[in-house]
Chains A and B, each alone.
Chain A
């Protein structure tokens, strides 16, 4: 049982790391603000979820599990809110998605 739990948490941690890294590459390589935002927002949430669940499986029923759950809850609440607020502010400020600019000029 412990072996299976270990294996599952390792897989989750590795998958989380992979998603986080993908998000980082996306933020650096994507063209235009909104595409970067897309890369960051999606992988951030999934990577956080996977990593945190992986850590929770490692810690068992202890105080650290409660703390990890709290971290997970707050990150899942605040990260998308920050992403939303950021995209909203950029849109209101008149930053236009790149594709839209290109199709207008055609």
Chain B
């Protein structure tokens, strides 16, 4: 049954993707991308990847659509030219497709427990996590513990992308710093009473749920990446309901840039603290008397850093696009 559900969702995914590419109006592409993301999250859930599905839910359903739309508001939202050498690329793509389909025959079939992926390091992680880290969610344990370096790198990619967007879109303050200057016209949906009231009612629940996802990530699906995306979605909803200017008063630009830096610094700081206490970089065992308690503390702090930076970056990006929109 699972396989059939999966096949059905996958078929819909292909149809949606073709619809996205074919749509002439970019707005239609963005709306269809929303559906695409929903299907993808359902597929991840069916394939037993609860954490990934939660991330896709938090990012794809809220933040991604909002970002694409606020960028489209600044651009011509219709494709004008038909395309470049479409026939040639169609032939090349079809040839590559046939090669890839041919190669897929050699792949192990779906769910095969003896596939090469499952016989390398994965069993070790699954067996040793309860003993070494003592945390039910192996994904969180690997993310922040075993592969802490990798996650640090990813966090800095997000940090760099966020600062890049700010440099490209934020305006220069009179004293030389970057600033966002929303005009009072950005009222969002203030004139629509019902969506505004319900939106305001939902915001605290989203933020509360984000905190739950942040701190429950050791035991269930969740962690800093999901929580950061959810929290920023909550604040974006507030900005939609009350206008960007009001949202910037609640969480000002200074606070946002502070959050972007603070999260990354917290992550690095935990690593340095481990060095100071005589361990290696990001080896949390030395943080407490008991190695497992140390691991718990380290992972909690590191995930908190991830959550703070991710929500700061996503919100700063949203405000950069929105402020640009109103300046024109």
- Residues of A that sit less than 8 Å from B by CB: 74, 77-78, 81-82, 84-85, 88
CB–CB B201/A77 < 8 A: yes
Nearest chain A residue, comparing its CB with the CB of B192 = A85
CB-CB contacts of B267-303 with A at 8 A, as 1s and 0s?
A: 0000000000000000000000000000000000000
Tell me the bound Cα distance from A78 to B206 in angstroms.
13
Tell me the bound Cα distance from A54 to B201 in angstroms.
27
Tell me the bound Cα distance from A82 to B195 in angstroms.
7
Nearest chain B residue, comparing its CB with the CB of A85 = B195
CB-CB under 8 A from B198, the residues of chain A are 77-78, 81
CB–CB A81/B194 < 8 A: yes
16 more contacts with CB within 8 A, not counting A82-B195, A85-B189, are A74-B202, A74-B205, A77-B198, A77-B201, A77-B202, A78-B198, A78-B202, A81-B194, A81-B195, A81-B198, A84-B194, A84-B195, A85-B192, A85-B194, A85-B195, A88-B192
CB-CB under 8 A from B189, the residues of chain A are 85
Tell me the bound Cα distance from A85 to B240 in angstroms.
13
Nearest chain A residue, comparing its CB with the CB of B206 = A74
**Can you name 18 A-B residue pairings with CB atoms under 8 Å?**
A74-B202, A74-B205, A77-B198, A77-B201, A77-B202, A78-B198, A78-B202, A81-B194, A81-B195, A81-B198, A82-B195, A84-B194, A84-B195, A85-B189, A85-B192, A85-B194, A85-B195, A88-B192
Among A77, A78, A81, A82: residue with most chain B CB under 10 A: A81
Q: Which of B78-123 contact A (CB under 8 A)?
A: none
CB-CB under 8 A from A88, the residues of chain B are 192
Number of interface residues of B (CB under 8 A): 8
CB-CB under 8 A from A74, the residues of chain B are 202, 205
CB-CB contacts of B182-208 with A at 8 A, as 1s and 0s?
A: 000000010010110010011001000
Tell me the bound Cα distance from A20 to B145 in angstroms.
44
Tell me the bound Cα distance from A81 to B198 in angstroms.
7
Nearest chain A residue, comparing its CB with the CB of B197 = A81
Tell me the bound Cα distance from A71 to B311 in angstroms.
24
CB-CB under 8 A from B201, the residues of chain A are 77
Within the complex, what minimum Cβ distance (angstroms) separates B3 from chain A? 21
CB-CB under 8 A from B194, the residues of chain A are 81, 84-85
CB-CB under 8 A from A78, the residues of chain B are 198, 202
Within the complex, what minimum Cβ distance (angstroms) separates B192 from chain A? 6
Within the complex, what minimum Cβ distance (angstroms) separates A18 from chain B? 19
Tell me the bound Cα distance from A77 to B189 in angstroms.
17
Within the complex, what minimum Cβ distance (angstroms) separates A90 from chain B? 13
Tell me the bound Cα distance from A84 to B193 in angstroms.
11
Tell me the bound Cα distance from A81 to B192 in angstroms.
11
Nearest chain B residue, comparing its CB with the CB of A70 = B205
Tell me the bound Cα distance from A82 to B194 in angstroms.
9
Within the complex, what minimum Cβ distance (angstroms) separates A37 from chain B? 15
Tell me the bound Cα distance from A77 to B201 in angstroms.
10
Nearest chain B residue, comparing its CB with the CB of A86 = B195
CB-CB under 8 A from A85, the residues of chain B are 189, 192, 194-195
Tell me the bound Cα distance from A62 to B201 in angstroms.
26
CB-CB under 8 A from B192, the residues of chain A are 85, 88
Within the complex, what minimum Cβ distance (angstroms) separates B62 from chain A? 12
